[in-house]
Amino acid sequence: MNNLHKTLCAAAGAVALAVSSPWLAAQDPATDAPQEAVAEPAEEVLAESEPAAEEEEAAAPAVAVKPRDSEIMPLAAYGLLLDVTNSGKHLFAVGDRGVVLVSNNAREWAQVKVPTRSALTGVSFGTETTGFAVGHDAVIIKTTDSGKTWALQNFQPELEKPLLSVLALDANNAIAVGSYGLMMRSTDGGTTWEEADAPAVRGDELHLNKISKLANGDLIIVGEGGTLGLSSDSGATWTKVESPYDGSWFGAQPYGANGATLYGLRGNVFKTDDIRAPQWQQVDVGTVSSFFGGAALPGDGVALVGLAGKVLKLDAAGASTSLTITRPQTDANGTTTDKEVTGSFSAALAWAGRLVVVGELGVQSAALN
């Protein structure tokens, strides 16, 4: 899991502790009983206390973790965000604590209330009106009115497997992937979600970091340990693709009519003209920074974003150009200047001649030319 996901895991652990703390603070009824000031052998004390502990454990009520609506936060656009997409009608960004943001211009963002506070890691729209978002606690939420309202479709914190990415193919068909080989599929608009039968990519129970669609319609899943899975029938069946790298992949973008560009840990970027019979070519990007997100650019180019604010534009030939993301900052004297963003980025989107990026410090954008 990348650094951003590890941050979210830590946050999820804190939430779990907060949920359990009322029970941890509950008074033990046995402590109110009068005690005799008589020393007893330790063995006898422990032996006598064990049945009481068992009875107490058996009597303790089960605590059901229930989803809670997200909170509207004025600074949500500056917090941890993990994915961004274009529905064809609006831009959407999702992130920590169930944050869903919507924008029409990539500058002003409004938060939408949703039925979860679980960290959201992926968002995808199959049509302008129908979209899905997924995240920790295996949560899945859906909208059918262009993001105005969202409904909860899945919530399984007991799995302890976050969903990390979702791809909506249309209004009815969607696939979500996540940690430890978790993969769920719906063919009825999310009314039902079932674990997918895909041993080629799920068999080793490795983290599945991203699912995306290539120019020829093939679906590709990338993950840890060099995991690459390919489907040519909209996700019904999957085959394993030989990987040029044994480390983690975090995403794939279309390259040409039938190819793909992969990106992952330590600056590893590879491309092929034909994903079904790949002959991989490594792209020299001049950095060992990990790339967590990417966006397709015109002319078979790709923008890659990742660790410590690293942003690269690659053209079809593989030549790279660095791009600096800045945000306005006002000092104590009231002077506002543009300061380079050095927080890590998790996802990117090319829109209206700009690159929209999200990450540790929220959402920013920069001109592509």
**What are the pLDDT digits (tens) for 173-191?**
999 999 999 999 999 999 9
* Residue owning tokens 């960004």: 93
The answer to whether residue 289 is domain-embedded is no
* Residue owning tokens 């840990």: 265
Strands 110-112 vs 183-186: parallel, antiparallel or unpaired: unpaired
| Single-letter residue type at 203 | G
Region of poorest pLDDT, from 41-50, 150-159, 330-339: 41-50
Structure confidence by residue, pLDDT tens digits, 279-302: 999 999 999 999 999 999 989 999
The answer to whether residue 272 is domain-embedded is no
The answer to whether residue 28 is domain-embedded is yes
Whether residue 31 is predicted with pLDDT greater than 70 in this model: the reply is no
pLDDT of residue 328: 87
The CA distance from 141 to 338, in Å, is 36
The answer to whether residue 222 is domain-embedded is no
The answer to whether residue 204 is domain-embedded is no
9 band by pLDDT with thresholds 50, 70 and 90: very low
Whether residue 17 is predicted with pLDDT greater than 60 in this model: the reply is no
Region of poorest pLDDT, from 12-16, 184-188, 196-200: 12-16
The answer to whether residue 362 is domain-embedded is no
pLDDT of residue 30: 36
| Strand partners of residue 92 | 85, 102
The answer to whether residue 212 is domain-embedded is no
60 band by pLDDT with thresholds 50, 70 and 90: low
The CA distance from 95 to 76, in Å, is 9
The CA distance from 332 to 143, in Å, is 43
Whether residue 29 is predicted with pLDDT greater than 60 in this model: the reply is no
The CA distance from 163 to 181, in Å, is 10
> Are 345 and 293 spatial neighbours (Cβ–Cβ below 8 Å)?
yes
Q: Percentage helix, strand, coil, to 5, in the chain?
A: 20, 40, 40
Region of poorest pLDDT, from 2-6, 241-245, 271-275, 350-354: 2-6
Domain count, the chain: 1
Structure confidence by residue, pLDDT tens digits, 225-268: 999 999 999 999 999 999 999 999 999 999 999 999 999 999 99
Region of poorest pLDDT, from 16-25, 214-223, 302-311: 16-25
The answer to whether residue 29 is domain-embedded is yes
Domain that holds residue 180: 1-196
